[in-house]
Amino acid sequence: MTLLDELRGVVGQTHVLVEDDLRRSYETDWTGRFSGKALAVVRPGSTEEVAGVVRTCAAAGVPLVVQGGNTGLVGGSIPAGGEVLLSLTRLDGLGEIDEAASQVTVGAGATLAALQAHARGKDLDVGVDLAARDSATIGGLVATNAGGIRVLRYGSMRAQVVGAEAVLADGSIVSRMAGLAKDNTGYDLVSLLCGSEGTLGVLTNLRLRLVPRLRARCVALVALEDTAAAVHVLPGLRDRLPELAAAELFFADGLALVRGYAGLPAPFPQEYPAYLVLESAGRNDPTDQLVEAIAELDGLLDATVATDASTQRALWAYREQHTEAISAAGVPVKLDVSVPLRALAGLVDRLPAVIAAVVPQARPIVFGHVNEGNLHVNVLGTGELAEEVTDAVLRLVAELDGSISSEHGVGRAKVPWLGLSRSDAEIAAMRAIKRALDPQGLLNPGVLLPD
């Protein structure tokens, strides 16, 4: 029997996709920068089927690439060539909400938007939110330890995870799904799987904590002079606004690109250099508090406040449409870095010259999650010099004591630069963990760690 026949035996004939046109949408990433051919796309419908697929591939010595919603931005869910692509989207079950614990069990293939709608039905919500919510899966969010626009309030994905079920590279199933608030019985495998980018195990079910649904919201767009002004106002905002839920930064060039792409009106009668989207959210209307805090901001150039849902969405669109607007303008080099807040303004000031030194006509568009010192450095028009631009930017970030990946992960895109953020000893420890759990190197080879 061939490998494909064996896989059909595990998941059923219709869930092994071998024809080019059926595989195609799985084989290129969201940005269009990464693509590769899979031997087949396999779509298991249960944890046991995932285990069967992994065991079958392990016996044949054929590696696997794990994929959720394929919204990752670093090429981690795309085959290098010849792997079996394991798509988790059929594992999309939404368990009953445990109101006593404010927790839920969810299939790894459920989308973030589906879980949000499910939780909101019980006046609860998911602590992580991001613009790819309609396609990004819970398994993908955990595997990348995704961040997003609510980290300031609730932390990254790892902080939401209280349990996981996963299939390891030998086909065995590990399951810690009780959602215990306290559990000190040795190594924290669940936490290890968070951010492991599909290299240590295939997540099949997750147990997540939920947060209260905050119905009363106020969103503001604030104009400032520059990054330094934005960083300067942060401590006061955090101090005055315990209900602050988001603080997102973008600049005049990004706003112009977004407006041109989405046909949006100008937010203010005149242009300003830098903008902050602020959101406060609570059980009671946070508008007065937010307005008072904004009125006292040092260096305030202008501000507008939205209290109803549609105007709030309109203000958020200036920020959330950045990713699509940039991709519509070309295939960008997408870098996702963080530096200590004290170094953030220096990074923004130095980036244009560092990029221009490699490609003078390149077009950087920068935006991001300012409270975490996390900037998305997108560079359009790098042509053949994408790797050189990446190198120049990541070396600058390392010089400023930063991280080469703040939230998207290392994937395939940043493997050569891992050593800028991790010491030799750390990489050796990571390799030892990988070897122990996946001695054949079956899961996501070439992702995160150099082969």
Q: Which residues bind ligand MLT (CB under 6 A)?
A: 73, 131, 322-323, 334, 336, 376
Sign of torsion, CA 333 377 133 316?
negative
List binders of ligand FAD among 374-413 (CB under 6 A).
407-408, 411
Beta carbon nearer to ligand FAD, 71 or 227: 71
Cβ neighbours for 419, distance < 8 A, ≥ 6 positions apart: 427
List binders of ligand FAD among 311-330 (CB under 6 A).
323
**Judging by DSSP bridges, how do beta strands 374-380 and 333-338 pair with one another?**
antiparallel
Q: Which does 400 bind (CB under 5 to 8 A by kind): ligand FAD, ligand MLT, none?
A: none
Least distance between ligand MLT and beta carbon 292 (Å): 28
Piece of 9-17, 73-81, 223-231, 418-426 that binds ligand FAD (CB under 6 A): 73-81
- The yes or no reply on residue 197 touching ligand FAD (CB under 6 A) is yes
Burial of 265 (0-12, 13-18, 19+ CB in 10 A): exposed
Interface pick for ligand FAD out of 54, 57, 73, 293 (rule CB under 6 A): 73
Contact yes or no for 312/372 (Cβ under 8 A): no
- The yes or no reply on residue 146 touching ligand FAD (CB under 6 A) is yes
Task: Tally DSSP H helices, then E strands, for the chain.
Answer: 16, 17
Beta carbon nearer to ligand MLT, 249 or 396: 249
Piece of 60-68, 117-125, 231-239, 267-275 that binds ligand FAD (CB under 6 A): 60-68
Structure tokens at 303: 């501000």
Least distance between ligand FAD and beta carbon 302 (Å): 26
- The yes or no reply on residue 368 touching ligand FAD (CB under 6 A) is no
Residue, CB closest to ligand MLT: 323
Q: Which does 376 bind (CB under 5 to 8 A by kind): ligand MLT, ligand FAD, none?
A: ligand MLT
Nearest to 439 by CA among 47, 19, 9, 63: 63
Least distance between ligand FAD and beta carbon 226 (Å): 23
- The yes or no reply on residue 139 touching ligand FAD (CB under 6 A) is yes
- The yes or no reply on residue 137 touching ligand FAD (CB under 6 A) is yes
Least distance between ligand MLT and beta carbon 351 (Å): 15
Contact yes or no for 64/88 (Cβ under 8 A): no
> Distance between CA 158 and CA 194 in Å, rounded?
6
Residue carrying structure tokens 């992580």: 128
Least distance between ligand MLT and beta carbon 137 (Å): 16
Residue, CB closest to ligand FAD: 140
E-assigned strands of 242-318?
244-251, 274-282, 302-306
CA distances from 232 to 166, 223, 237, 327, 370 (A): 43, 13, 10, 31, 11
- The yes or no reply on residue 140 touching ligand FAD (CB under 6 A) is yes
Q: Which does 146 bind (CB under 5 to 8 A by kind): ligand MLT, ligand FAD, none?
A: ligand FAD
> Distance between CA 313 and CA 308 in Å, rounded?
9
Query: What's the distance, Cα to Cα, between the start and end of the chain in Å?
Result: 30
Cβ neighbours for 112, distance < 8 A, ≥ 6 positions apart: 126, 128, 129, 130, 132, 133, 134, 136, 137, 138, 141
Least distance between ligand FAD and beta carbon 52 (Å): 16
Least distance between ligand MLT and beta carbon 376 (Å): 4
- The yes or no reply on residue 51 touching ligand FAD (CB under 6 A) is no
- The yes or no reply on residue 445 touching ligand FAD (CB under 6 A) is no
Nearest to 78 by CA among 89, 90, 68: 68
The residues binding ligand FAD (CB under 6 A) are 30, 66-73, 76-77, 88, 108, 130-132, 136-137, 139-141, 143-144, 146-148, 197-198, 202-203, 323, 407-408, 411, 444, 447
